[in-house]
Amino acid sequence: MALVQELGVSPENIIYISPCKQVSQIKYAAKVGVNIMTCDNEIELKKIARNHPNAKVLLHIATEDNIGGEEGNMKFGTTLKNCKHLLECAKELDVQIIGVKFHVSSACKESQVYVHALSDARCVFDMAGEIGFTMNMLDIGGGFTGTEFQLEEVNHVISPLLDIYFPEGSGVEIISEPGSYYVSSAFTLAVNIIAKKVVENDKFPSGVEKTGSDEPAFMYYMNDGVYGSFASKLSEDLNTIPEVHKKYKEDEPLFTSSLWGPSCDELDQIVESCLLPELNVGDWLIFDNMGADSFHEPSAFNDFQRPAIYYMMSFSDWYEMQDAGITSDSMMKNFFFVPSCIQLSQEDSFSAEA
């Protein structure tokens, strides 16, 4: 909240959406005038009532992609069945409910989930009206993958429903959280091969593509892993297969390979199995479309220090940033300027041609 305010955003335009808020943070929000926040259960509602007298709450409802299933208990959002109880509790606690929030996970491939979510949101608005609340905000969440196709597909589904359930002139402000959309492919990551092992091909999981049981397979260890730039790999699969940053013949044989981070932790597996030409220690791999939830600040694991991170930006991108109002010369020291935008994670110096 402090960081966003430092960027010039006024408190009334900040929404505190964490589903599990610390009391100290609720008190801080009250102190600085951040009044809008989310809630999905009675205990959280009472906590807000005790510590933020001016709170304006968005009721966070669950969507079909995170109800039930093996991980259902770990998800956030209240059920439609429980909403009336929470609205009645809010009335008793004198907490103002101003709208509804839902979030469809980026892992959900079915855009029809939005149909049910918007229908449920409309039901909550109607229930709130009967209890005496005047609601004026709908937050359709984030989870947008960054692909133009997915965004168009979601828009195709939700636009007609918004016109029906929350038409223009209804007084309902509709917002979303498109942060992951904007930065899902913000970086290209270059990593260095620091170690290599030859293993038997049949040691790889069944069902993955192999080059033949008589040929070797390789385990490659890179200088970055899940405790750094691949942090999102701990919670979701990485679908990106890297590009080898060296010249090799088109007919050069490909071998079953797995890619690992440097920590020696069994969780630090980046790619379970892919086909690559044989690599050597010192070779580079390039991962495209790195961004949302992937890059974390450098940290140590088992006293293994991550290498320095260098950022590179094209002159054209820098000029666009200046046109947008970012003109501080002090920022220049953090960037190298090259023909393309690459985030480097390295042990040693990177060749000038990169």
Closest CA to 122 of 106, 135, 105, 104: 135
* Catalytic residue check, 264: yes
- Tell me which amino acid residue 42 is: E
Going by DSSP bridges, is the β-strand pair 216-222/243-244 parallel, antiparallel, or unpaired?
A: unpaired
Question: DSSP string spanning 14-36?
Answer: -EE--SS--HHHHHHHHHHT--E
260 within 8 A of 267, measured Cβ to Cβ: no
Going by DSSP bridges, is the β-strand pair 300-301/304-305 parallel, antiparallel, or unpaired?
A: antiparallel
26 within 8 A of 44, measured Cβ to Cβ: no
C-alpha distances out from residue 351 to 66, 94, 114, 247, 310, Å: 46, 63, 47, 14, 13
| First-last CA distance in the chain | 38
188 within 8 A of 286, measured Cβ to Cβ: yes
Catalytic residue among 20, 264, 274, 341: 264
Q: For residue 60, list its beta bridge partners.
A: 101
Q: Give the integer Cα–Cα distance in Å for 63 and 2.
A: 31
C-alpha distances out from residue 215 to 120, 202, 241, 306, Å: 55, 10, 21, 33
Residue indicated by tokens 């009645």:
88
- Residues assigned a catalytic role: 264
